[in-house]
Amino acid sequence: MKGKGHVFLEQSFGIFAEQTYQDFDIVISDHSQDTAIEDLCKTYADKLDIYYYRNTENRGNSSANINNAIKKATGQLIKVLFQDDFLFHEKALAEIANCFDVEKDHWLVSGCTHTTDGTTFFKPFYPRPDTIHSIWIKTVYSSPSTLTIKNDSPLLFDESLIWLMDSDYYRRCYDKFGEPKILHTINVVNRVGDHQVTNTVASRALQKREYTMMLERYERGLNFWYYRTVGCLKDFIKHMLGKI
């Protein structure tokens, strides 16, 4: 997070403390090399139910770090939230918990908005059904911070992927459970900036490697050759335009 991680997380903690729904705990898996995150968790120990874990394995691999948090979670539902993102309002968790039917639903995605400064918002996004089953499935569901999963042998993220780890995860959830429950309200804020994976470690070479992996994994026969030629170009352009 380019040294801003504890600042981002402190804003998120403040919003957690204001939630109208209070039957939750927070699992922190800390990959950082200093104690800023750990110290912050101690500061909020009397305000929030925080379970802090220092994770020294596969440092720098965000998929591995998320998996560590998922494995440590004990609640009935797991609300994924990246360190730089935060809940949009004080009723966000209540809306998610009320919408999620634990008897029927396995995963849920909600609406989100975006920010660069943490106070002003732009580009609201609402998830929609995946009708084309593209490997760019992330363009219909947004980032993993919009995701809530049932804690019943939950799927884990593929630790060999960094840039397309969310697309792969959504595709596997879709293949196993079908369409997610869609919550048509904005509950999460995605923070945009130079700290993001796309702007740091996702080099062109890495993007090409992961795109090829996704094609080989999920596209077969004519679909594979279509995406490797015409479809690859169309999907990539659509993806990049969606980021503008």
174-226 pLDDT, tens digit per residue, is 999 999 999 999 999 999 987 666 656 667 788 888 888 888 888 765 455 55
Predicted TM-score of the model (pTM): 0.87
- Residue 201 pLDDT: 67
Residue 49's CB is within 10 A of a number of other CB atoms, namely 13
pLDDT, one tens digit per residue, over 107-147 is 999 999 999 999 999 999 999 887 666 666 777 899 999 99
Q: Which one is predicted more confidently, 61 or 81? A: 81
pLDDT, one tens digit per residue, over 80-92 is 999 999 999 999 9
Percentage of the chain exceeding pLDDT 90: 64
Range of 214's domain? Answer: 5-243
CB 153 within 8 A of CB 120: no
Coil, strand or helix at 209: helix
Residue 18 has pLDDT above 60, yes or no: yes
Average pLDDT over residues 61-74: 95
- Residue 239 pLDDT: 58
Q: Which one is predicted more confidently, 154 or 61? A: 154
Q: Dig out the tokens for 116 from the structure.
A: 């660069």
Which one, of 41, 43, 49, lies nearest residue 22 by Cα?
49
What average pLDDT is seen over the chain?
Answer: 87
- Residue 19 pLDDT: 98
How many degrees, rounded to 5, is the angle at CA 216 between CA 67 and CA 81? Answer: 25
C-alpha distances (whole Å) from 34 to each of 5, 42, 113, 192 are 11, 14, 30, 24
* CATH number assigned to the domain comprising residue 72: 3.90.550.10
Q: Which one is predicted more confidently, 58 or 116? A: 116
Lowest mean pLDDT among 15-24, 47-56, 192-201: 192-201
- Residue 103 pLDDT: 95
C-alpha distances (whole Å) from 193 to each of 4, 20, 66, 110, 129 are 11, 29, 20, 22, 28
Q: Residues with Cβ < 8 Å from 153, sequence gap 6 or more?
A: none
- Residue 138 pLDDT: 73
CA 205, CA 199: separation in Å to the nearest integer? 13
Report strand pairing: 122-125 vs 77-79. unpaired
Residue 41's CB is within 10 A of a number of other CB atoms, namely 21
Q: How many domains does the chain have?
A: 1
Burial class (CB in 10 A: 0-12, 13-18, 19+), 10: middle
- Residue 222 pLDDT: 47
Coil, strand or helix at 51: strand
Q: Which one is predicted more confidently, 59 or 6? A: 6
Q: Which one is predicted more confidently, 232 or 212? A: 212
Please tell me the chain's helix, strand, coil percentages from 3-state DSSP, rounded to the nearest 5: 40, 20, 40
**C-alpha 79 chain-centroid distance:** 9
